[in-house]
A and B are shown apart, each in its own frame.
Chain A
């Protein structure tokens, strides 16, 4: 980073804080602080919904995934539009007209205090920790790529966000989100323009994309029905639908967004904005990852890194494995050079073919087509070598660090930006990464403070608290959760593919939370006891599926029986399906217990249960 980049990042941080603090002068009271007195326009709420969902992990992780594996991640969002429609029909008018602060507040009205407190507790636990991961992800990467101290990076992101969220409340969060979305869009546009300008002479975007196609980076759809595969059309459509229903309908950080809208109609419109925008926007973000792959494919081999994580590369270069690592680097530079030569040759041939294209009655392949076929073959072989050598380097890091899930995927985007972007643009993009992180952190902190205040403090500690007392507690709990997230971020340092960690963690609880709301809104027969035990059963079922291999291993070591081990392969299920499993188990167990409750009440054997 050069001086102008520092100026851009510092100016961004200073502006965000001063702009957020401006909202602290408002004299709104608790409803204004937590719900902006339900006065925000749909477009601001809609942008805030998008900004909240798009954390720095999304920005950095998905571009890296597209670079490494292609655009298949887009399928993750296929269930989102349908989820938004279902929420607009059910949850949005329900919650909005119930005049609640938190989604869990409704569960007490429908069931009992125990169900409300339990769901809110799980929300606080999962979101509090995932807020730490949301800070940790970019802080680890930026500290290595930029050479900053990791604690300083965590504090720059976490404490800055805590200050403006604590002082300005939901108004500051929403309006800052709007501006942060603008920073992100400008930053990503700048990256795209620079990459397009860096394409080799005589090679257009279409020709370059043909090269990406050769490497399989543009395959977007996978129709195989394999539950162990993470990103397929079906896991995205069905598993993604349940994940999005849970996230946008039961997670306070998103529910609170549409509760701030002026009306039910504006709340609905704000969610439908995501339904229209999310897939095309994610496509463009993934395309940037593919463009970075192309950039490095056209670059001379000596300038293409073997590992994008400079920290681990430097450690390996001075470790006991230094000689083996240097040998890998030399072979990688050679393979990358062959790839570059073949990529440029192939792209130029395709460009020339397109220029000379004329209708011909001769169906036999031309000399040009045969030559481009040879170049394509060379490119694929060289690219396979590069991929294998990079995998060997990552294995070397795994061996030396002991981190089995190590990947340098999350370092690709920041490493590219800091190495190849012009002065000023680097600062802008680092600011965009900060903006993506901060917009998500702010919404989480705001939601965590709201749930702490409304579901715990006001419900259990100070039911007769004044507006002033509750407002003070909200601010203090924002500060508490901000510090908690920073501490969690500091210890959540070495994680693998961070985006999957966050989603997987959420999937443990999300499906089960959704199941409770399905029981609450979808059926009149469900009882409080059914919902409570259904929730615990759902979480236990998802945990069982996730840790099945470990449980089977433990069972074998204790009993000597292979009974559970034989099913390990068939129970390898992608985390996207966890939401469906959790929801299904909660509804099934919840309904069963509810029916038993009602039968008991009819026969008079359980007079204690009065929930209906």
Chain B
């Protein structure tokens, strides 16, 4: 039997997955920025 008070909201159990998603999103964003810069690196001057 649970000893948790009935009015206590249950703690969300998957925070680690959320943190992993934040890190993955940040890495992808930085890679996206790098690709964006590369896409507009002037080739006409080379």
* Residues of A in contact with B (beta carbons under 8 Å apart): 74, 78, 81-82, 84-85, 88-89, 209-210, 212-214, 218-221, 263-265, 268, 272, 275-276, 279-280, 283, 346, 369, 372-373, 375-377, 380
A263: chain B residues at CB < 8 Å are 9
Q: Does B42 contact A (CB under 8 A)?
A: yes
Complex partner residue of B34 from A84, A213, A221, A272, CB under 8 angstroms: A221
Q: Is there an interface contact between B45 and A210, defined as CB atoms closer than 8 Å?
A: no
Query: What chain B residues lie within 8 Å of A268 (beta carbons)?
Result: 15
Query: Is B6 at the interface (CB under 8 A from chain A)?
Result: no
B-side contacts of A265, CB under 8 Å: 9, 11-12
Query: Which residues from A are CB-within-8-Å of B44?
Result: 214, 346, 369, 372-373, 375-377
- B1-46: which have CB < 8 Å to A? 9, 11-12, 15, 18-19, 22-23, 25-26, 29-30, 33-34, 36-37, 40-42, 44-45
Check B42–A220 contact: CB distance below 8 A. Answer: no
Q: Is the interface of A mostly helix, strand, loop or mixed?
A: helix
Determine the distance from Cα of A283 to Cα of B37 in the docked complex, in whole angstroms: 12
Q: Is the CB of A275 within 8 A of B26?
A: yes
CB distance from A249 to the nearest CB of B (A): 16
Q: Could you tell me if A85 and B29 are in contact, using CB atoms closer than 8 angstroms? A: no
Instruction: Give B37's nearest chain A residue, CB to CB.
Output: A220
A372: chain B residues at CB < 8 Å are 44
A380 touches B33 (CB 8 A): no
Q: B42 contacts which of A78, A89, A275, A376 (Cβ < 8 Å)?
A: A376
Question: What residues on A are CB-neighbors of B29 within 8 Å?
Answer: 279-280
Residue pair A212, B33 in contact (C-beta under 8 Å):
no
Are A81 and B23 within 8 A (Cβ)? yes
Known A-B contacts A221-B30, A265-B12; A85 and B19 likewise in contact (beta carbons under 8 Å): yes
Q: How far is the CB of A208 from chain B (nearest CB, A)?
A: 10
Known contacts A85-B22, A272-B18, A276-B25; A214/B45 CB under 8 A: yes
Residues of A within 8 A of B34 (CB): 220-221
Instruction: Provide the main secondary structure of the chain B interface.
Output: helix
A281 CB to nearest B CB, Å:
11
Q: Are A213's CB and B18's CB within 8 A?
A: no
Known: A220-B36, A263-B9, A279-B26. A213 touches B41 (CB 8 A): yes
CA distance A376 to B45 in the complex (A): 7
Looking at the assembled complex, report how far the CB atom of A240 sits from the nearest CB atom of chain B, in whole angstroms: 12
Contacts of A283 in B (CB 8 A): 33
Report the bound CA distance from A219 to B42 in whole Å: 11
Across-interface contacts of B45 in A (CB, < 8 A): 214, 373, 376-377, 380
Contact with B22, one of A213, A221, A275, A377 (Cβ below 8 angstroms): A275
- Can you report 11 residue pairs joining A to B where beta carbons are below 8 Å apart? A74-B33, A78-B26, A81-B23, A82-B26, A85-B23, A89-B15, A209-B40, A210-B42, A268-B15, A272-B18, A369-B44
Alpha-carbon separation in the docked complex, A277 to B30 (Å)? 13
State whether A221 and B9 are in contact (beta carbons under 8 Å apart), knowing that A214-B45, A275-B26 are contacts in the complex.
Answer: no
Distance between A509 CB and nearest chain B CB, rounded to angstroms: 27
Q: How far is the CB of A101 from chain B (nearest CB, A)?
A: 23
Complex: A272 Cα to B11 Cα, angstroms: 17
Find out whether the CB atom of B12 lies under 8 angstroms from the CB atom of A84. no
Task: Determine how close the nearest CB of chain A comes to the CB of B27; give it in whole angstroms.
Answer: 9
Q: Which residues of A contact B25 (CB under 8 A)?
A: 81, 275-276
Q: Which residue of B lies closest to A275 (CB)?
A: B22
Give the residue of A82, A214, A221, A279 whose beta carbon is less than 8 angstroms from that of B37.
Answer: A221
Return chain B residues, CB-CB under 8 Å to A264.
11
Having A280-B29, A376-B44, one finds 13 other A-B pairs with CB under 8 Å, namely A81-B22, A82-B26, A210-B40, A210-B42, A212-B40, A214-B42, A214-B44, A220-B36, A220-B37, A221-B34, A272-B22, A279-B26, A375-B44
Question: Given A74-B33, A88-B15, A218-B36, A81–B42 Cβ distance below 8 Å?
Answer: no
- B23 surroundings in chain A (CB, below 8 A): 81-82, 85
Cross-chain contact A81 with B40 (CB below 8 angstroms): no
B41 surroundings in chain A (CB, below 8 A): 213
* B22 pairs with A84, CB closer than 8 A: yes
| Contact indicator A276/B22 (Cβ below 8 Å) | yes
Residues of B within 8 A of A369 (CB): 44
Cβ contact within 8 Å between A221 and B40:
no
